[in-house]
Each structure stands twice: as C-alpha cells, then as structure tokens.
C-alpha cells in the first residue's frame, strides 16, 4: 500500500513528495529542497526509514520543483524523469534560480523522458503517467487508480488551479487537462498538489471556481 510523505520546502512553499510502499522502495517527486537544512531533512528521513529510492520524478520543471534534482541524483544514484516538452524550462532553471535568489542551485540533466501512458514501477506499486499540459508545456501527473491517489503537481489545487501567466503556459490547455484527464478519475481520488493541502476530485468538481462542473 502506498504511503505519501510530504515535505514543504523553499520560499515558494512547494510540496516535495516521497511515495513509498511496504517494500520500503520509494520515489521522490519534485524535490524543492534548496539549501543544506532542507536537503538534510529529506535525506535523513529517507535514511532513517531505510528507504531505497528508485526514481526521481518531476511533474514539471518550474524552478521551485527542481531545486533539489541534482542533490537527489547524486545522493541516491537515481535517474531523472521528465516530459520532453519541459526541457526549455529545465534549461532556463539556472537563470530563474539566480533571479529568485537560490545561489545553491545545481543544474541537472534528464535521463528518461516521460510520456502519457508510461507506468512507473517500484516495490509492489505503480504510478500511471498522465500528460496534463497548461501550467507547463510538459506537465504530467502521477496516478494510482487502485488506491485513488493523484499527485497533480501545479495543475489542480484545493479551490484553485495552476498559474497560466508564465512563459509557455496556456489557460485553455490547463482547463482541458483538468476536465478530460483529472476529472475522469473517481470523485474520491485524493489529489496531492504541488502547493497547499490535499483535496479530492469530487470536491473540486463541485466547488472549484475555475473549473467547476
């Protein structure tokens, strides 16, 4: 059974997720840890839990979600997975890090490109990859339908949606991603977003002012 461990890092209050199961294998999603203290929190947790990290997954490559990529690759010996459409954002991350004042940023290279329909396998568990562009051109979400879990990155939040006033964003694409991909999940699917607390698909369908059905 999957367990979701949440860490909120960096001034953008970004949610970094460690997703594990009973085998003690785990994946790290969107490591936003940007300084020594935050990186120590993440590493100490994984070491103390005796977890084996098998994958480093990015929902997208905005700076607040990739600050710890190279740290995770180096310390846990794993490959970085990202959709190819987000390569321009990753390549621009160093400039964004300088702009927002993250002097410890280390660039990282993608090892495996994610595509819609891919399945991430670790331990006894799987995560399906959904392509959900709009907030970013290569944004993906990770879903386990059996346990009704969706790690949505910055697509859908509790009562809100991802920004589309940034370069390479598109509001119409975002709405289409939510309505045709996320809103096809069961209403009691728990959504773990890139910022803020969890919500459920059914709640957002009924109440989200941006994409209420």
Average pLDDT of the chain is 97
Across residues 95-110, what is the average pLDDT? Answer: 94
Tokens of 181: 């991909």
pLDDT tens-digit map of 115-162: 999 999 999 999 999 999 999 999 999 999 999 999 999 999 999 999
- Angle at CA of residue 19, ends 131 and 93, nearest 5°: 55
Residue 119 lies in a domain: yes
Mean pLDDT of 92-96: 95
Q: Is residue 136 part of a domain?
A: yes
- pLDDT computed for residue 198 by the predictor: 98
Name residues whose C-beta falls within 8 Å of residue 66's C-beta, 6 or more positions apart in sequence: 30, 31, 32, 58, 90, 93, 108
The whole-number pLDDT of residue 213 equals: 84
| Tens of pLDDT, residues 64-79 | 999 999 999 999 999 9
Q: How many CA atoms lie within 13 A of 107 on its CB side?
A: 12
Residue 212 inside a domain? The answer is no
- Residue 7's CATH number: 3.60.15.10
> Which residue range is the domain that position 93 belongs to?
3-207
Q: Specify the pLDDT at position 135.
A: 98
pTM: 0.97
116 in any annotated domain? yes
104 pLDDT band, cuts 50/70/90, is confident
β-pairing verdict for 25-29 and 14-20: antiparallel
Strand partners, 114: 83
State how many domains the chain has.
1
The answer to whether residue 27 scores a pLDDT higher than 90 is: yes
Tell me what pLDDT residue 14 has. Answer: 98
The pLDDT, as a whole number, for residue 29 is 99
Say if 81 falls within a structural domain. Answer: yes
User: Residue 213: inside a domain, yes or no?
Assistant: no
User: Which pLDDT score, from 0 to 100, does residue 152 have?
Assistant: 98
Whether 135 is covered by a domain: the verdict is yes
* Segment 163-201, tens digit of pLDDT: 999 999 999 999 999 999 999 999 999 999 999 999 999
Residue 46 pLDDT greater than 90, yes or no = yes
Is 29 contained in some domain?
yes
């Amino acid at each position: 059974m999957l367990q979701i461990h949440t860490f909120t890092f960096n001034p953008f209050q970004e949610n970094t997720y460690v997703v594990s199961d009973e085998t003690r294998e785990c994946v790290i999603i969107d490591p936003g840890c940007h300084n020594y203290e935050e990186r120590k929190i993440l590493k100490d947790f994984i070491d103390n839990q005796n977890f084996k990290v098998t994958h480093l997954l990015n929902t997208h490559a905005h700076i607040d979600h990739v600050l710890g990529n190279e740290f995770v690759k180096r310390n846990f010996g794993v490959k970085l997975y990202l959709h190819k459409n987000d390569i321009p954002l990753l390549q621009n991350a160093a400039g964004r890090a300088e702009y927002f004042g993250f002097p410890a940023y280390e660039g990282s290279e993608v090892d495996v490109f994610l595509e819609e329909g891919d399945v991430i396998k670790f331990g006894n568990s799987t995560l399906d990859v959904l392509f959900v562009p709009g907030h970013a051109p290569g944004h993906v979400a990770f879903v386990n339908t059996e346990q009704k879990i969706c790690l949505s990155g910055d697509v859908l939040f509790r009562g809100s949606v991802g920004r589309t006033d940034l370069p390479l964003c598109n509001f119409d694409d975002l709405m289409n991603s939510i309505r045709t991909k996320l809103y096809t999940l069961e209403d009691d699917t728990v959504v773990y977003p890139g910022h803020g607390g969890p919500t459920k698909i059914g709640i957002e369908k009924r109440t989200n002012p941006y994409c209420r059905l």
